[in-house]
Amino acid sequence: MTESKKNSPEWGSLTSGEFQSNEKWWPNALNLRILHQHHPDSTPLGVEFDYRSNLENVDIDELTRDVDALMTDSQSWWPADWGHYGPFFIRMSWHAAGTYRVSDGRGGGGTGAQRYAPLNSWPDNGNLDKARRLLLPIKQKYGKAISWADLFVFAGNRALETMGFRTAGFAFGREDIWAPEDDIYWGPENEWLSTNDDRYTGSFEDGNRLLDNPLAAVQMGLIYVNPEGPNGIPDAQKSAQDIRETFGRMAMNDEETVALVVGGHTFGKMHGASKPEFHGPEPEAAGFADQGLGWANSHETGLGEYTLTSGLEGAWTPTPTTWDNSYLETLFGHEWELVESPAGAKQWEPKSVREGFMVPDAHVEGRENKPVMSTADMAMLADPTYLEIATRFRENPAVLADAFAKAWFKLLHRDMGPAERYVGPQVPDETFVWQDNVPAHEGPMIGDAEIAELKSTILGSGLTTAQLVKAAWASASTYRTTDFRGGANGARIRLSPMSEWDANVTSGVNQVIAKLEEIQQAFNGKGGPQVSLADLIVLGGSAAVEAAAKAAGHDFTVPFTPGRTDADQESTDIESFQWLEPKADGFRNYQQKQGGIPSEHLLIDKAFMLNLTAPEMTALVGGLRVLGANVGDEGYGVFTDRPGQLTNDFFVNLVDMGTKWHSIGEAEDVFEGVDRETGAPKWKATRVDLVFGANSQLRAIAEEYAAAGGDELMLDAFIRGWVKVMENDRFDLV
């Protein structure tokens, strides 16, 4: 499309340019769209299609053979280096999975998002459009039976195996999305690879260089770090600092980090044979004739020996398509000096190359090249801890192989949740603590009679509605849909670190759990079907919701499905669970510290993590307020004179024009509502209460819930939302 056409008014609403959107005029507006992404009508597979269960019908052995054959079937439109696409596929897999960040569980290879902007056009993903296109014949053969997401990750795993490495296995089960995620914040910059350090506070110089959360890459457009060193400065020690921080954000420790870099760069090469000015636009900006491929290279053939990707040029080892210890032998075996690649990138090459370390050219018969290292590779020597680990790996290749296999498996599967979500014949028997597994259910399941008995025991135990709802919500609401972690199953709420979290301590959750444990022991002591604490926590909350609805004149049952089990402390990765701590939970009117991202934005994010729609989120907030689920006793948002009953009072009172609101203090965090006539104080509220009257879209829902028949609508959405939250982690139920 030409520029003039793109900017003409009648085309404006058809492009995704910002100039017609509300965000342009009101950049701080809430983005409720993130709650309603991936509309069922947007999938070409049909809403009925269940990818994960259909995988059972796929012949994975045949798929594996097909991928193997592709690996060495070099295509004239993108010839394979050394006749083997393996290294290229490894990089594709690593870049697919490597966007994962443990802080919010976003990114990762789980959705096939590398097909879409911005990822398809990130400079760091240069030429991976070709790697993905090479897989097209396989996609065509298997159709919807194999997702692109699985293919991207599987291809690299298989590549390692075809080049002699023994992986720890592979799990299928990643479902494609049909539009890029609208909820991922990739960073504040307006420019690719900006070197302004916009995402940092502090600096190397003051020893305080700190990357903004939840980001996990040093620059816009990179997966992790700049290979040439921080902001292109070839300082290997500082590069190590950046690597440590960014790999840490991916939940990798030093040992895993070194294993990944060493293992990964045992294969393949860097591409910098041409100058950047030969490059055409990235895929998302490329022309129609390019058919989704970008970075057309006009230097000579623009392929093979002329390829330009990162701009660095050369291989790390003399044997780039074989698993061996040659990366460390090359790295440790030479003295390195700073040079420039043909594309002008800073890189390192040996002052003199030892016998046997020259690298055969990837395309030109008879030519040999020096091995090279990037500044990020030199970090493996420059950082004392990395050096110690790399030295150990060099002396014990079997230890390296084991560490790389485990770290690679974690990299590829970190965003898939517990091992029970893994599909396919290559799933390893071994389990890992980072998977957050819960034990399988054993023995007879509690039935309707036992459930009824337990409900009445709980309701008669002296625990209040508010207490029971608080405990159930605290337990289940740790879930995050981005990487399928958290949730009520496992009852990890009674374990460290959950039991120490401020929100749980402040709201007295531990005391409620202790009482529920007593009930559990008494019940299980009778020798019948056993109930887990995890089930009991959810059942207690659901029974309380039912009772509270009944008190308001509504008779219904909250659906409950038993089968949760209790995990133990040993199977709980404390450090990794710590990321799940709620810093804010608008559903409980909770925020640890004010002054950062406005709490209403955090509420939307939380609702997204819990898979809630806007009407469900709204009903839950209004309902939880009047049930008394707040953390803290200030009574914010409790707009009712009959707390403990499940009513729509929150909405009725919120839209009441008889109340006039003003903020208390400068920060617009806390508000007071007074009688418009008399000035007498009526209610207290936070931003996450008043947003339901102030934001036009949320207000539309709130007005509906406050109107005639609104209580039915609201209760309906409340129960739907409640059950969703309680069952988000029931992967066994689908």
Per CB under 6 A, the segment of 25-33, 220-228, 391-399, 628-636 that binds ligand HEB is 220-228
> According to the binding rule CB under 6 A, does residue 374 interact with ligand HEB?
yes
Query: Toward ligand HEB, which CB reaches closer, 88 or 523?
Result: 88
Give, for 261, the enclosing helix (H) or strand (E): helix 254-264
Query: Toward ligand HEB, which CB reaches closer, 250 or 723?
Result: 250
**Residue type for position 716:** D
Among 84, 91, 279, 470, indicate the residue that binds ligand HEB (CB under 6 A).
91
Note whether 488 and 564 are within 8 A (CB). Answer: yes
> According to the binding rule CB under 6 A, does residue 728 interact with ligand HEB?
no
Per CB under 6 A, the segment of 80-88, 114-122, 429-437, 516-524 that binds ligand HEB is 80-88
Query: Toward ligand HEB, which CB reaches closer, 379 or 516?
Result: 379
DSSP one-letter string for 590-609: EES-SSSS-HHHHHHHHHHH
Note whether 59 and 121 are within 8 A (CB). Answer: no
Among 227, 234, 318, 417, indicate the residue that binds ligand HEB (CB under 6 A).
227
> According to the binding rule CB under 6 A, does residue 112 interact with ligand HEB?
no
> Please, what is the minimum distance in Å from the beta carbon of residue 484 to ligand HEB?
23
Residue 490 phi/psi, 5-degree rounding, is 95, -20
> Please, what is the minimum distance in Å from the beta carbon of residue 378 to ligand HEB?
10
> Please, what is the minimum distance in Å from the beta carbon of residue 258 to ligand HEB?
10
SS3 279: strand
Among candidate residues 269, 260, 255, 265, the one with its CA nearest the CA of residue 391: 255
d(CA 129, CA 151) in angstroms, rounded, equals: 14
> According to the binding rule CB under 6 A, does residue 309 interact with ligand HEB?
yes
d(CA 604, CA 32) in angstroms, rounded, equals: 7
> According to the binding rule CB under 6 A, does residue 218 interact with ligand HEB?
no
Per CB under 6 A, the segment of 89-97, 182-190, 191-199, 294-302 that binds ligand HEB is 89-97
The burial class, CB within 10 Å (0-12 / 13-18 / 19+), for 123 is: middle
Query: Toward ligand HEB, which CB reaches closer, 81 or 383?
Result: 81
Query: Toward ligand HEB, which CB reaches closer, 30 or 373?
Result: 373
Q: Strands 659-664 and 359-360: what pairing?
A: unpaired
> According to the binding rule CB under 6 A, does residue 167 interact with ligand HEB?
no
d(CA 158, CA 173) in angstroms, rounded, equals: 16
The residue behind tokens 């209760």 is 715
Tokens of 367: 């030519």
Tokens of 483: 């990487």
> According to the binding rule CB under 6 A, does residue 90 interact with ligand HEB?
yes
> Please, what is the minimum distance in Å from the beta carbon of residue 405 to ligand HEB?
11
> Please, what is the minimum distance in Å from the beta carbon of residue 182 to ligand HEB?
28
> According to the binding rule CB under 6 A, does residue 230 interact with ligand HEB?
no
> According to the binding rule CB under 6 A, does residue 410 interact with ligand HEB?
no
Catalytic residue selected from 84, 95, 271, 363: 95
d(CA 155, CA 693) in angstroms, rounded, equals: 50
Query: Toward ligand HEB, which CB reaches closer, 251 or 702?
Result: 251
Among 128, 312, 498, 512, indicate the residue that binds ligand HEB (CB under 6 A).
312
> According to the binding rule CB under 6 A, does residue 328 interact with ligand HEB?
no
> According to the binding rule CB under 6 A, does residue 279 interact with ligand HEB?
no
The residue behind tokens 């990162």 is 310
Q: Measure CA of the first residue to CA of the last residue in the chain; give whole Å.
A: 44
d(CA 236, CA 640) in angstroms, rounded, equals: 61
d(CA 62, CA 76) in angstroms, rounded, equals: 25
SS3 620: helix
> According to the binding rule CB under 6 A, does residue 225 interact with ligand HEB?
yes
The burial class, CB within 10 Å (0-12 / 13-18 / 19+), for 698 is: buried
d(CA 725, CA 413) in angstroms, rounded, equals: 24
| CB count in 10 Å sphere of residue 167 | 19
> Please, what is the minimum distance in Å from the beta carbon of residue 81 to ligand HEB?
6
d(CA 328, CA 456) in angstroms, rounded, equals: 65
> Please, what is the minimum distance in Å from the beta carbon of residue 227 to ligand HEB?
4
In 271-378 the beta strands, taken as DSSP E runs, fall at 314-315, 336-340, 346-350, 359-360, 368-369
Active-site residue, 38 included? no
> Please, what is the minimum distance in Å from the beta carbon of residue 55 to ligand HEB?
25
d(CA 447, CA 565) in angstroms, rounded, equals: 16
Is 265 among the annotated ligand-binding positions? yes
> According to the binding rule CB under 6 A, does residue 373 interact with ligand HEB?
no
Residues that contact ligand HEB, how many (by CB under 6 A): 25
> Please, what is the minimum distance in Å from the beta carbon of residue 153 to ligand HEB?
12
Query: Toward ligand HEB, which CB reaches closer, 311 or 540?
Result: 311
Binding mask 236-275 for ligand HEB (x = CB under 6 A): -------x----------------xx-xxx-xxxxx----
Query: Toward ligand HEB, which CB reaches closer, 68 or 517?
Result: 68
Query: Toward ligand HEB, which CB reaches closer, 268 or 490?
Result: 268
DSSP one-letter string for 257-293: HHHHHHHHTTS-EE-B-S-GGGB---GGGS-GGGTT-
The residue behind tokens 């910002």 is 18
CA angle at residue 550 from 548 to 552, to 5 degrees? 75
Per CB under 6 A, the segment of 306-314, 422-430, 516-524, 656-664 that binds ligand HEB is 306-314
The residues binding ligand HEB (CB under 6 A) are 81, 87-88, 90-91, 94, 224-225, 227, 243, 260-261, 263-265, 267-271, 309-310, 312, 374, 376
Annotated binding site for heme b: 265
Task: Enumerate the active-site residues.
Answer: 95
